[in-house]
A and B are shown apart, each in its own frame.
Chain A
Protein backbone atom coordinates (compact mmCIF):
# COMPACT_ATOMS: atom_id res chain seq x y z
CA UNK A 1 0.00 0.00 0.00
CA UNK A 2 2.93 2.32 -0.57
CA UNK A 3 3.58 2.85 3.14
CA UNK A 4 7.21 3.84 2.74
CA UNK A 5 7.88 6.62 5.26
CA UNK A 6 8.57 9.98 3.66
CA UNK A 7 11.50 12.23 4.52
CA UNK A 8 9.36 14.29 6.87
CA UNK A 9 8.25 11.12 8.65
CA UNK A 10 11.83 9.92 9.20
CA UNK A 11 12.64 13.36 10.54
CA UNK A 12 9.65 13.16 12.89
CA UNK A 13 10.70 9.71 14.14
CA UNK A 14 14.23 10.97 14.81
CA UNK A 15 12.81 13.99 16.63
CA UNK A 16 10.59 11.71 18.71
CA UNK A 17 13.58 9.58 19.71
CA UNK A 18 15.49 12.71 20.71
CA UNK A 19 12.54 14.03 22.70
CA UNK A 20 12.27 10.73 24.59
CA UNK A 21 15.84 11.27 25.83
CA UNK A 22 15.62 15.05 26.30
CA UNK A 23 14.81 15.00 30.06
CA UNK A 24 18.21 13.34 30.65
CA UNK A 25 19.99 16.28 29.06
CA UNK A 26 18.26 19.50 30.08
CA UNK A 27 16.87 21.17 33.16
CA UNK A 28 13.39 21.88 34.43
CA UNK A 29 12.59 25.03 32.44
CA UNK A 30 13.10 23.62 28.92
CA UNK A 31 11.16 20.52 29.94
CA UNK A 32 8.29 22.68 31.13
CA UNK A 33 8.22 24.65 27.86
CA UNK A 34 8.42 21.42 25.86
CA UNK A 35 5.51 19.97 27.85
CA UNK A 36 3.43 23.06 27.07
CA UNK A 37 4.27 22.68 23.38
CA UNK A 38 3.31 18.98 23.39
CA UNK A 39 0.05 19.80 25.15
CA UNK A 40 -0.97 22.39 22.56
CA UNK A 41 0.27 20.22 19.71
CA UNK A 42 -1.97 17.39 20.95
CA UNK A 43 -4.97 19.71 21.31
CA UNK A 44 -4.45 21.53 18.01
CA UNK A 45 -3.73 18.20 16.34
CA UNK A 46 -6.98 16.71 17.59
CA UNK A 47 -8.87 19.76 16.33
CA UNK A 48 -7.04 19.53 13.01
CA UNK A 49 -8.31 15.97 12.52
CA UNK A 50 -11.91 17.19 12.55
CA UNK A 51 -11.41 20.48 10.70
CA UNK A 52 -8.55 19.63 8.37
CA UNK A 53 -9.54 16.10 7.37
CA UNK A 54 -13.31 15.79 7.86
CA UNK A 55 -14.03 19.46 7.11
CA UNK A 56 -16.02 19.96 10.33
CA UNK A 57 -15.05 23.19 12.08
CA UNK A 58 -15.69 22.41 15.73
CA UNK A 59 -15.74 25.50 17.96
CA UNK A 60 -16.50 23.54 21.11
CA UNK A 61 -13.62 21.07 21.57
CA UNK A 62 -12.99 22.61 25.00
CA UNK A 63 -16.03 20.61 26.18
CA UNK A 64 -13.91 17.46 26.04
CA UNK A 65 -11.01 19.26 27.70
CA UNK A 66 -13.20 20.30 30.63
CA UNK A 67 -14.87 16.91 30.88
CA UNK A 68 -11.43 15.29 30.93
CA UNK A 69 -10.15 17.64 33.62
CA UNK A 70 -13.09 17.18 35.98
CA UNK A 71 -13.50 13.45 35.33
CA UNK A 72 -9.80 12.90 36.04
CA UNK A 73 -10.07 14.94 39.25
CA UNK A 74 -13.18 13.04 40.37
CA UNK A 75 -11.61 9.65 39.69
CA UNK A 76 -8.47 10.59 41.58
CA UNK A 77 -10.19 12.30 44.52
CA UNK A 78 -13.37 10.23 44.92
CA UNK A 79 -12.35 6.82 43.60
CA UNK A 80 -8.77 7.15 44.78
CA UNK A 81 -7.37 5.92 41.49
CA UNK A 82 -3.83 6.79 40.46
CA UNK A 83 -3.35 9.51 37.83
CA UNK A 84 -2.79 7.47 34.67
CA UNK A 85 -5.84 5.18 34.96
CA UNK A 86 -7.90 8.21 35.98
CA UNK A 87 -6.88 10.16 32.89
CA UNK A 88 -7.49 7.17 30.62
CA UNK A 89 -10.92 6.53 32.13
CA UNK A 90 -11.74 10.23 31.86
CA UNK A 91 -10.93 9.90 28.18
CA UNK A 92 -13.45 7.07 27.91
CA UNK A 93 -16.08 9.16 29.73
CA UNK A 94 -15.44 11.99 27.26
CA UNK A 95 -15.83 9.55 24.36
CA UNK A 96 -19.26 8.50 25.64
CA UNK A 97 -20.31 12.12 26.06
CA UNK A 98 -18.91 13.00 22.62
CA UNK A 99 -20.90 10.14 21.09
CA UNK A 100 -24.10 11.49 22.62
CA UNK A 101 -23.33 15.11 21.70
CA UNK A 102 -21.99 14.30 18.24
CA UNK A 103 -24.95 12.24 17.09
CA UNK A 104 -27.22 15.29 16.68
CA UNK A 105 -24.65 18.10 16.21
CA UNK A 106 -22.57 16.38 13.53
CA UNK A 107 -25.62 16.46 11.27
CA UNK A 108 -25.34 20.23 11.17
CA UNK A 109 -23.42 21.47 8.15
CA UNK A 110 -20.70 24.09 7.81
CA UNK A 111 -21.22 27.25 9.83
CA UNK A 112 -24.19 25.75 11.67
CA UNK A 113 -21.97 23.06 13.15
CA UNK A 114 -19.45 25.71 14.21
CA UNK A 115 -22.11 27.87 15.87
CA UNK A 116 -23.82 24.86 17.42
CA UNK A 117 -20.64 23.55 19.02
CA UNK A 118 -19.67 27.03 20.23
CA UNK A 119 -23.04 27.32 21.97
CA UNK A 120 -22.62 23.81 23.33
CA UNK A 121 -19.29 24.72 24.91
CA UNK A 122 -20.76 27.78 26.63
CA UNK A 123 -23.67 25.68 27.92
CA UNK A 124 -21.22 23.08 29.20
CA UNK A 125 -19.34 25.78 31.09
CA UNK A 126 -22.52 27.07 32.73
CA UNK A 127 -23.58 23.53 33.58
CA UNK A 128 -20.18 22.83 35.14
CA UNK A 129 -20.37 26.03 37.19
CA UNK A 130 -23.84 25.13 38.44
CA UNK A 131 -23.24 21.39 38.82
CA UNK A 132 -22.67 21.25 42.57
CA UNK A 133 -25.86 23.25 43.21
CA UNK A 134 -27.90 21.17 40.75
CA UNK A 135 -26.58 17.80 41.91
CA UNK A 136 -25.73 18.35 45.60
CA UNK A 137 -25.49 14.61 46.32
CA UNK A 138 -22.68 14.20 43.77
CA UNK A 139 -20.49 17.32 43.72
CA UNK A 140 -17.91 17.37 40.93
CA UNK A 141 -16.80 20.84 39.91
CA UNK A 142 -16.66 22.88 43.10
CA UNK A 143 -18.69 25.62 41.41
CA UNK A 144 -16.72 28.80 40.85
CA UNK A 145 -14.25 27.83 43.59
CA UNK A 146 -12.94 24.91 41.54
CA UNK A 147 -11.21 21.72 42.66
CA UNK A 148 -7.72 21.19 44.04
CA UNK A 149 -5.85 18.06 43.03
CA UNK A 150 -3.03 16.34 44.88
CA UNK A 151 0.45 17.61 44.05
CA UNK A 152 2.38 15.42 41.68
CA UNK A 153 5.84 14.14 42.46
CA UNK A 154 8.02 15.46 39.64
CA UNK A 155 7.17 16.66 36.18
CA UNK A 156 8.48 13.70 34.17
CA UNK A 157 5.08 12.05 33.94
CA UNK A 158 3.52 15.18 32.39
CA UNK A 159 6.31 15.47 29.87
CA UNK A 160 5.91 11.88 28.72
CA UNK A 161 2.11 11.81 28.75
CA UNK A 162 1.90 15.01 26.69
CA UNK A 163 4.60 13.70 24.35
CA UNK A 164 2.66 10.47 23.89
CA UNK A 165 -0.55 12.43 23.17
CA UNK A 166 1.20 14.61 20.59
CA UNK A 167 2.86 11.58 18.98
CA UNK A 168 -0.45 9.71 18.98
CA UNK A 169 -2.37 12.49 17.26
CA UNK A 170 0.38 13.09 14.71
CA UNK A 171 0.66 9.36 14.02
CA UNK A 172 -3.11 9.23 13.63
CA UNK A 173 -3.03 12.07 11.11
CA UNK A 174 -0.28 10.29 9.15
CA UNK A 175 -2.25 7.06 9.19
CA UNK A 176 -5.31 8.90 7.84
CA UNK A 177 -3.39 9.86 4.71
CA UNK A 178 -3.04 6.28 3.58
CA UNK A 179 -5.95 4.41 5.11
CA UNK A 180 -9.46 3.64 3.96
CA UNK A 181 -10.88 5.64 6.88
CA UNK A 182 -8.72 8.60 5.88
CA UNK A 183 -9.84 8.53 2.25
CA UNK A 184 -13.44 8.43 3.41
CA UNK A 185 -12.88 11.40 5.70
CA UNK A 186 -11.16 13.44 3.04
CA UNK A 187 -14.03 12.68 0.69
CA UNK A 188 -16.48 13.88 3.35
CA UNK A 189 -14.41 17.01 3.89
CA UNK A 190 -14.23 17.77 0.17
CA UNK A 191 -17.85 17.10 -0.84
CA UNK A 192 -20.08 15.37 1.69
CA UNK A 193 -23.04 14.94 -0.65
CA UNK A 194 -20.92 13.20 -3.24
CA UNK A 195 -19.25 11.10 -0.54
CA UNK A 196 -22.66 10.01 0.67
CA UNK A 197 -23.72 9.10 -2.87
CA UNK A 198 -20.51 7.07 -3.24
CA UNK A 199 -21.33 4.82 -0.31
CA UNK A 200 -19.60 6.71 2.52
CA UNK A 201 -21.56 6.74 5.77
CA UNK A 202 -20.72 10.40 6.36
CA UNK A 203 -22.34 10.75 9.78
CA UNK A 204 -20.84 7.52 11.06
CA UNK A 205 -17.36 8.43 9.86
CA UNK A 206 -17.46 11.94 11.30
CA UNK A 207 -18.71 10.61 14.60
CA UNK A 208 -15.93 8.03 14.90
CA UNK A 209 -13.36 10.76 14.37
CA UNK A 210 -15.13 13.14 16.74
CA UNK A 211 -15.19 10.50 19.49
CA UNK A 212 -11.52 9.63 18.93
CA UNK A 213 -10.46 13.28 19.06
CA UNK A 214 -12.55 13.75 22.22
CA UNK A 215 -10.44 11.04 23.90
CA UNK A 216 -7.18 12.84 23.11
CA UNK A 217 -8.51 16.24 24.17
CA UNK A 218 -9.96 14.85 27.40
CA UNK A 219 -6.77 13.04 28.41
CA UNK A 220 -4.84 16.23 27.64
CA UNK A 221 -7.29 18.22 29.79
CA UNK A 222 -7.00 15.74 32.64
CA UNK A 223 -3.22 15.79 32.48
CA UNK A 224 -3.10 19.58 32.36
CA UNK A 225 -5.41 19.78 35.38
CA UNK A 226 -3.25 17.45 37.47
CA UNK A 227 -0.15 19.30 36.34
CA UNK A 228 -1.53 22.63 37.57
CA UNK A 229 -3.07 20.79 40.60
CA UNK A 230 -6.04 23.13 40.43
CA UNK A 231 -8.97 23.36 38.00
CA UNK A 232 -12.08 25.47 37.79
CA UNK A 233 -15.00 25.43 35.39
CA UNK A 234 -14.48 28.95 34.02
CA UNK A 235 -10.95 28.16 32.88
CA UNK A 236 -11.30 24.50 31.97
CA UNK A 237 -14.26 25.26 29.69
CA UNK A 238 -12.88 28.59 28.46
CA UNK A 239 -13.41 29.43 24.79
CA UNK A 240 -9.85 30.78 24.74
CA UNK A 241 -8.59 27.18 24.86
CA UNK A 242 -10.66 26.42 21.77
CA UNK A 243 -9.39 29.48 19.97
CA UNK A 244 -5.79 28.75 20.80
CA UNK A 245 -6.26 25.26 19.31
CA UNK A 246 -7.78 26.79 16.17
CA UNK A 247 -5.10 29.47 15.79
CA UNK A 248 -2.26 26.97 16.24
CA UNK A 249 -3.74 24.53 13.74
CA UNK A 250 -4.32 27.27 11.16
CA UNK A 251 -0.94 28.85 11.78
CA UNK A 252 0.81 25.52 11.40
CA UNK A 253 -1.17 24.31 8.41
CA UNK A 254 -4.71 23.00 8.34
CA UNK A 255 -5.08 19.43 7.14
CA UNK A 256 -1.36 18.65 7.43
CA UNK A 257 -0.05 16.09 9.95
CA UNK A 258 2.81 18.22 11.28
CA UNK A 259 1.15 21.62 11.00
CA UNK A 260 -0.34 21.63 14.53
CA UNK A 261 3.03 20.67 16.01
CA UNK A 262 4.72 23.55 14.18
CA UNK A 263 1.93 25.96 15.11
CA UNK A 264 2.05 24.95 18.78
CA UNK A 265 5.84 25.15 18.97
CA UNK A 266 5.99 28.46 17.16
CA UNK A 267 3.28 30.20 19.16
CA UNK A 268 4.44 28.81 22.51
CA UNK A 269 8.07 29.78 21.92
CA UNK A 270 7.18 33.22 20.61
CA UNK A 271 4.98 33.77 23.68
CA UNK A 272 7.77 32.60 26.00
CA UNK A 273 10.36 34.89 24.43
CA UNK A 274 8.16 37.92 23.89
CA UNK A 275 6.32 37.42 27.18
CA UNK A 276 9.51 38.09 29.11
CA UNK A 277 10.89 40.85 26.86
CA UNK A 278 7.70 42.74 25.99
CA UNK A 279 5.51 41.99 28.94
CA UNK A 280 2.83 44.50 27.99
CA UNK A 281 2.92 44.38 24.20
CA UNK A 282 3.62 40.76 23.35
CA UNK A 283 0.00 39.89 22.63
CA UNK A 284 -0.10 42.68 20.05
CA UNK A 285 3.06 41.33 18.42
CA UNK A 286 1.61 37.82 18.37
CA UNK A 287 -1.52 39.20 16.74
CA UNK A 288 0.59 40.84 14.03
CA UNK A 289 2.50 37.58 13.47
CA UNK A 290 -0.73 35.60 13.11
CA UNK A 291 -2.12 38.09 10.60
CA UNK A 292 1.15 38.07 8.66
CA UNK A 293 1.27 34.28 8.46
CA UNK A 294 -2.34 34.05 7.32
CA UNK A 295 -1.74 36.73 4.67
CA UNK A 296 1.60 35.58 3.31
CA UNK A 297 1.48 31.84 4.01
CA UNK A 298 -2.19 30.85 3.84
CA UNK A 299 -1.18 27.17 3.85
CA UNK A 300 0.48 27.72 7.24
CA UNK A 301 4.01 27.07 8.41
CA UNK A 302 3.89 23.49 7.14
CA UNK A 303 3.19 24.94 3.69
CA UNK A 304 6.28 27.14 3.98
CA UNK A 305 8.48 24.18 4.87
CA UNK A 306 6.63 21.94 2.41
CA UNK A 307 6.03 19.43 5.16
CA UNK A 308 3.17 17.21 4.14
CA UNK A 309 1.53 19.24 1.38
CA UNK A 310 -2.21 18.83 1.39
CA UNK A 311 -2.39 18.23 -2.33
CA UNK A 312 -0.99 14.80 -2.90
CA UNK A 313 0.02 14.38 -6.50
CA UNK A 314 -0.10 10.83 -7.72
CA UNK A 315 -0.76 9.28 -4.36
CA UNK A 316 -2.16 6.06 -5.78
Chain B
Protein backbone atom coordinates (compact mmCIF):
# COMPACT_ATOMS: atom_id res chain seq x y z
CA UNK B 1 0.00 0.00 0.00
CA UNK B 2 1.29 3.43 -0.85
CA UNK B 3 2.17 5.83 1.92
CA UNK B 4 2.21 9.01 -0.12
CA UNK B 5 0.40 9.70 -3.38
CA UNK B 6 0.95 12.65 -5.65
CA UNK B 7 -2.15 12.86 -7.82
CA UNK B 8 -2.22 15.00 -10.94
CA UNK B 9 -0.25 17.83 -9.34
CA UNK B 10 0.12 20.93 -11.49
CA UNK B 11 1.89 24.08 -10.35
CA UNK B 12 1.94 27.25 -12.43
CA UNK B 13 3.86 30.42 -11.67
CA UNK B 14 2.12 32.86 -13.99
CA UNK B 15 2.62 31.43 -17.48
CA UNK B 16 5.43 29.09 -16.35
CA UNK B 17 4.26 25.53 -15.79
CA UNK B 18 6.63 24.23 -13.13
CA UNK B 19 4.77 20.94 -12.67
CA UNK B 20 2.33 19.47 -15.16
CA UNK B 21 -0.03 16.72 -14.03
CA UNK B 22 2.66 14.88 -12.05
CA UNK B 23 1.54 11.59 -10.61
CA UNK B 24 3.37 8.93 -8.61
CA UNK B 25 3.20 6.98 -5.35
CA UNK B 26 5.68 6.31 -2.59
CA UNK B 27 5.60 2.91 -0.91
CA UNK B 28 6.44 2.49 2.77
CA UNK B 29 10.15 1.88 3.56
CA UNK B 30 11.33 2.48 0.00
CA UNK B 31 13.84 4.99 -1.30
CA UNK B 32 12.39 6.87 -4.25
CA UNK B 33 14.65 9.18 -6.22
CA UNK B 34 13.25 12.10 -8.20
CA UNK B 35 15.76 13.05 -10.87
CA UNK B 36 15.80 15.48 -13.74
CA UNK B 37 17.82 18.40 -15.13
CA UNK B 38 17.95 21.74 -13.35
CA UNK B 39 14.60 23.47 -13.54
CA UNK B 40 12.71 20.19 -14.02
CA UNK B 41 10.50 21.03 -11.05
CA UNK B 42 11.99 18.82 -8.34
CA UNK B 43 12.20 21.45 -5.63
CA UNK B 44 8.76 22.81 -6.51
CA UNK B 45 7.38 19.30 -6.20
CA UNK B 46 8.91 18.96 -2.72
CA UNK B 47 7.56 22.35 -1.69
CA UNK B 48 4.08 21.34 -2.83
CA UNK B 49 4.25 18.04 -0.91
CA UNK B 50 5.54 19.77 2.25
CA UNK B 51 2.83 22.42 2.14
CA UNK B 52 5.25 25.28 1.46
CA UNK B 53 3.53 26.04 -1.88
CA UNK B 54 -0.09 25.25 -2.72
CA UNK B 55 -0.51 23.32 -5.99
CA UNK B 56 -2.50 24.98 -8.76
CA UNK B 57 -4.28 21.70 -9.32
CA UNK B 58 -4.15 18.12 -8.06
CA UNK B 59 -3.79 16.52 -4.67
CA UNK B 60 -1.20 15.22 -2.26
CA UNK B 61 -2.51 12.25 -0.30
CA UNK B 62 -0.79 10.89 2.81
CA UNK B 63 -2.00 7.58 4.25
CA UNK B 64 -5.16 7.88 2.18
CA UNK B 65 -5.95 11.35 3.48
CA UNK B 66 -5.66 14.48 1.30
CA UNK B 67 -3.21 16.94 2.84
CA UNK B 68 -3.28 19.52 0.06
CA UNK B 69 -3.52 23.04 1.44
CA UNK B 70 -2.42 22.16 4.96
CA UNK B 71 0.16 24.56 6.43
CA UNK B 72 3.77 23.27 6.51
CA UNK B 73 3.82 22.72 10.28
CA UNK B 74 0.74 20.51 10.05
CA UNK B 75 2.25 18.47 7.20
CA UNK B 76 5.41 18.02 9.27
CA UNK B 77 3.45 16.89 12.32
CA UNK B 78 1.43 14.46 10.21
CA UNK B 79 4.66 12.83 9.13
CA UNK B 80 6.37 14.44 6.12
CA UNK B 81 9.53 16.45 6.75
CA UNK B 82 11.85 18.00 4.20
CA UNK B 83 15.36 19.34 4.01
CA UNK B 84 16.12 22.41 1.95
CA UNK B 85 18.21 22.50 -1.20
CA UNK B 86 20.28 25.25 0.39
CA UNK B 87 20.61 23.82 3.90
CA UNK B 88 18.73 25.99 6.35
CA UNK B 89 19.63 26.51 9.98
CA UNK B 90 18.66 28.58 12.97
CA UNK B 91 22.05 30.30 12.78
CA UNK B 92 22.35 31.63 16.32
CA UNK B 93 21.00 28.56 18.06
CA UNK B 94 23.46 25.81 18.89
CA UNK B 95 23.55 22.76 16.63
CA UNK B 96 21.81 20.73 19.36
CA UNK B 97 19.12 23.39 19.73
CA UNK B 98 18.50 23.30 15.99
CA UNK B 99 17.66 19.62 16.28
CA UNK B 100 15.89 20.18 19.60
CA UNK B 101 13.32 22.52 18.02
CA UNK B 102 12.39 19.82 15.50
CA UNK B 103 12.00 17.20 18.24
CA UNK B 104 9.92 19.56 20.40
CA UNK B 105 7.54 20.63 17.68
CA UNK B 106 7.74 17.83 15.10
CA UNK B 107 6.16 15.27 17.38
CA UNK B 108 5.49 17.17 20.57
CA UNK B 109 8.28 15.72 22.71
CA UNK B 110 8.82 17.07 26.21
CA UNK B 111 11.90 19.21 26.78
CA UNK B 112 13.78 16.39 28.52
CA UNK B 113 12.90 13.83 25.83
CA UNK B 114 13.70 16.27 23.05
CA UNK B 115 17.12 16.99 24.57
CA UNK B 116 17.94 13.31 24.68
CA UNK B 117 16.64 12.72 21.14
CA UNK B 118 18.56 15.63 19.70
CA UNK B 119 21.81 14.24 21.17
CA UNK B 120 20.98 10.82 19.73
CA UNK B 121 20.29 12.14 16.24
CA UNK B 122 23.41 14.27 16.29
CA UNK B 123 25.42 11.18 17.22
CA UNK B 124 23.62 9.28 14.45
CA UNK B 125 24.71 11.76 11.77
CA UNK B 126 28.18 12.08 13.30
CA UNK B 127 27.87 15.59 14.68
CA UNK B 128 27.90 14.81 18.41
CA UNK B 129 31.13 16.76 18.80
CA UNK B 130 29.51 19.90 17.37
CA UNK B 131 26.41 19.83 19.58
CA UNK B 132 27.13 22.98 21.52
CA UNK B 133 28.66 25.20 18.84
CA UNK B 134 26.66 27.88 17.12
CA UNK B 135 25.05 26.46 13.97
CA UNK B 136 26.36 29.24 11.73
CA UNK B 137 29.92 27.96 12.21
CA UNK B 138 29.25 24.62 10.47
CA UNK B 139 30.78 23.72 7.10
CA UNK B 140 28.55 22.84 4.12
CA UNK B 141 28.90 19.10 4.67
CA UNK B 142 28.15 19.52 8.37
CA UNK B 143 25.15 21.71 7.61
CA UNK B 144 23.71 18.98 5.41
CA UNK B 145 24.13 16.45 8.21
CA UNK B 146 22.63 18.84 10.76
CA UNK B 147 19.68 19.36 8.43
CA UNK B 148 19.29 15.58 8.19
CA UNK B 149 19.40 15.26 11.99
CA UNK B 150 16.71 17.94 12.17
CA UNK B 151 14.27 16.14 9.85
CA UNK B 152 14.93 12.84 11.58
CA UNK B 153 14.21 14.46 14.94
CA UNK B 154 10.76 15.55 13.78
CA UNK B 155 9.92 11.85 13.88
CA UNK B 156 8.31 12.07 10.45
CA UNK B 157 8.14 8.66 8.74
CA UNK B 158 8.53 10.27 5.30
CA UNK B 159 11.70 12.28 4.71
CA UNK B 160 12.11 14.45 1.63
CA UNK B 161 15.77 15.19 0.91
CA UNK B 162 16.29 18.00 -1.59
CA UNK B 163 19.80 17.49 -3.04
CA UNK B 164 21.20 16.60 0.34
CA UNK B 165 24.53 15.66 -1.27
CA UNK B 166 25.10 18.72 -3.45
CA UNK B 167 28.48 20.30 -2.85
CA UNK B 168 29.93 17.23 -1.14
CA UNK B 169 33.21 15.63 -2.29
CA UNK B 170 33.49 11.98 -3.28
CA UNK B 171 34.29 10.67 0.20
CA UNK B 172 31.53 12.75 1.74
CA UNK B 173 29.04 11.40 -0.81
CA UNK B 174 29.96 7.82 0.12
CA UNK B 175 29.51 8.63 3.81
CA UNK B 176 26.19 10.28 3.05
CA UNK B 177 24.91 7.28 1.05
CA UNK B 178 25.87 4.93 3.90
CA UNK B 179 24.12 7.24 6.35
CA UNK B 180 20.92 7.31 4.30
CA UNK B 181 20.94 3.51 4.10
CA UNK B 182 20.99 3.47 7.90
CA UNK B 183 18.12 5.98 7.97
CA UNK B 184 16.14 3.59 5.86
CA UNK B 185 16.99 0.69 8.15
CA UNK B 186 15.39 2.73 10.92
CA UNK B 187 12.10 2.36 9.09
CA UNK B 188 11.93 5.76 7.42
CA UNK B 189 10.71 6.22 3.88
CA UNK B 190 12.95 8.45 1.78
CA UNK B 191 12.17 10.57 -1.22
CA UNK B 192 15.35 12.16 -2.58
CA UNK B 193 16.24 14.47 -5.42
CA UNK B 194 19.79 14.08 -6.56
CA UNK B 195 22.10 14.86 -9.43
CA UNK B 196 24.81 12.44 -8.40
CA UNK B 197 23.96 9.29 -10.36
CA UNK B 198 26.28 7.06 -8.39
CA UNK B 199 24.45 8.00 -5.23
CA UNK B 200 21.11 7.19 -6.83
CA UNK B 201 22.25 3.80 -8.13
CA UNK B 202 23.59 2.96 -4.70
CA UNK B 203 20.51 4.05 -2.81
CA UNK B 204 17.23 4.22 -4.72
CA UNK B 205 14.74 1.41 -5.20
CA UNK B 206 12.82 3.33 -7.83
CA UNK B 207 13.35 6.48 -9.84
CA UNK B 208 10.90 9.06 -11.17
CA UNK B 209 12.27 11.32 -13.90
CA UNK B 210 10.97 14.85 -14.33
CA UNK B 211 11.69 17.09 -17.31
CA UNK B 212 10.17 20.54 -17.75
CA UNK B 213 7.66 19.72 -15.02
CA UNK B 214 6.45 16.48 -16.56
CA UNK B 215 7.08 12.91 -15.51
CA UNK B 216 8.87 11.28 -18.44
CA UNK B 217 9.89 7.97 -16.90
CA UNK B 218 9.54 5.82 -13.81
CA UNK B 219 11.11 2.51 -12.86
CA UNK B 220 14.14 0.74 -11.45
CA UNK B 221 17.28 2.91 -11.52
CA UNK B 222 19.25 0.78 -13.99
CA UNK B 223 16.30 0.58 -16.42
CA UNK B 224 15.53 4.27 -16.22
CA UNK B 225 19.15 5.25 -16.95
CA UNK B 226 18.91 3.37 -20.24
CA UNK B 227 15.60 4.97 -21.21
CA UNK B 228 15.98 6.97 -24.43
CA UNK B 229 13.84 9.89 -23.26
CA UNK B 230 15.86 10.21 -20.07
CA UNK B 231 19.17 10.22 -21.91
CA UNK B 232 17.79 12.86 -24.28
CA UNK B 233 16.57 15.04 -21.41
CA UNK B 234 19.96 14.94 -19.73
CA UNK B 235 22.36 14.98 -22.67
CA UNK B 236 20.38 16.59 -25.50
CA UNK B 237 19.18 15.66 -28.97
CA UNK B 238 22.45 14.43 -30.51
CA UNK B 239 22.91 11.66 -27.97
CA UNK B 240 19.27 10.56 -28.09
Question: A-side interface residues toward B, CB under 8 Å?
Answer: 1, 178-180, 183-184, 186-187, 190-191, 193-202, 310-316
Give 22 pairs: A residue, B residue, CB < 8 Å, sorted on A.
Answer: A1-B115, A178-B111, A180-B114, A186-B90, A186-B101, A190-B92, A190-B93, A191-B91, A194-B88, A194-B89, A197-B81, A198-B76, A198-B154, A199-B77, A199-B154, A201-B73, A311-B134, A313-B94, A313-B133, A315-B96, A315-B97, A316-B119
The answer for the CA separation of A199 and B93 in the assembled complex, in Å, is 17
B101 touches A184 (CB 8 A): yes
Known interface pairs A1-B112, A315-B97. Does A198 touch B105 (Cβ–Cβ under 8 Å)? yes
CB proximity of A123 to chain B, nearest CB, Å = 29
A179 touches B111 (CB 8 A): yes
Question: B-side interface residues toward A, CB under 8 Å?
Answer: 50, 52, 71-74, 76-77, 81-82, 84, 88-94, 96-97, 100-102, 104-107, 110-112, 114-115, 118-119, 131-134, 150, 154
Please provide the 10 A-B residue pairs with the shortest distance between their CB atoms, ordered closest to farther.
Answer: A314-B132, A199-B105, A190-B90, A199-B106, A199-B76, A194-B88, A316-B96, A198-B102, A196-B72, A187-B101
CB proximity of B163 to chain A, nearest CB, Å = 16
The answer for the CA separation of A180 and B113 in the assembled complex, in Å, is 11
The answer for the CA separation of A194 and B119 in the assembled complex, in Å, is 20
B94 touches A200 (CB 8 A): no
Known interface pairs A180-B111, A194-B88, A198-B106. Does A316 touch B97 (Cβ–Cβ under 8 Å)? yes
Chain B hits for A178, CB < 8 A: 111
Chain B hits for A196, CB < 8 A: 52, 71-73, 76
Look across to chain A and name the residue whose beta carbon is closest to the beta carbon of B114. Answer: A180
Chain B hits for A197, CB < 8 A: 50, 52, 72-73, 76, 81-82, 84, 88
A187 touches B106 (CB 8 A): no
- A184: which of B88, B105, B132 is its contact (CB, 8 Å)? B105
Chain B hits for A180, CB < 8 A: 104-105, 110-111, 114
- B111: which of A1, A186, A311 is its contact (CB, 8 Å)? A1
A313 touches B101 (CB 8 A): no
Given contact pairs A187-B90, A197-B88, a sample of 16 additional A-B residue pairs in the complex whose CB atoms are under 8 Å apart: A183-B93, A183-B101, A186-B101, A191-B88, A196-B73, A197-B84, A198-B73, A198-B81, A199-B76, A199-B154, A200-B73, A310-B92, A314-B132, A315-B94, A315-B97, A316-B118
The answer for the CA separation of A86 and B118 in the assembled complex, in Å, is 46
CB proximity of A73 to chain B, nearest CB, Å = 40
CB proximity of A161 to chain B, nearest CB, Å = 32
Chain B hits for A194, CB < 8 A: 84, 88-90
A186 touches B93 (CB 8 A): yes
CB proximity of B3 to chain A, nearest CB, Å = 19
A193 touches B88 (CB 8 A): yes
- B100: which of A183, A201, A310 is its contact (CB, 8 Å)? A183
CB proximity of A180 to chain B, nearest CB, Å = 5
The answer for the CA separation of A179 and B114 in the assembled complex, in Å, is 12
A312 touches B94 (CB 8 A): yes
Chain A hits for B134, CB < 8 A: 311, 313
Chain B hits for A186, CB < 8 A: 90, 93, 97, 101
A316 touches B100 (CB 8 A): yes
CB proximity of A226 to chain B, nearest CB, Å = 40
The answer for the CA separation of A199 and B150 in the assembled complex, in Å, is 11
B102 touches A199 (CB 8 A): yes
The answer for the CA separation of A175 and B88 in the assembled complex, in Å, is 27
Chain A hits for B100, CB < 8 A: 183, 316
- B91: which of A190, A195, A198 is its contact (CB, 8 Å)? A190
The answer for the CA separation of A199 and B72 in the assembled complex, in Å, is 7
B132 touches A199 (CB 8 A): no
A200 touches B111 (CB 8 A): no
The answer for the CA separation of A117 and B150 in the assembled complex, in Å, is 34
Chain A hits for B90, CB < 8 A: 186-187, 190-191, 194-195
Chain B hits for A202, CB < 8 A: 73
Most chain B beta carbons < 10 A, residue from A199, A201, A310, A311: A199
CB proximity of B126 to chain A, nearest CB, Å = 18
CB proximity of B198 to chain A, nearest CB, Å = 28
Look across to chain A and name the residue whose beta carbon is closest to the beta carbon of B107. Answer: A199
A191 touches B89 (CB 8 A): yes
CB proximity of B48 to chain A, nearest CB, Å = 13
The answer for the CA separation of A202 and B72 in the assembled complex, in Å, is 10
Chain B hits for A184, CB < 8 A: 101, 104-105
The answer for the CA separation of A194 and B154 in the assembled complex, in Å, is 12
- A187: which of B93, B94, B107, B112 is its contact (CB, 8 Å)? B93
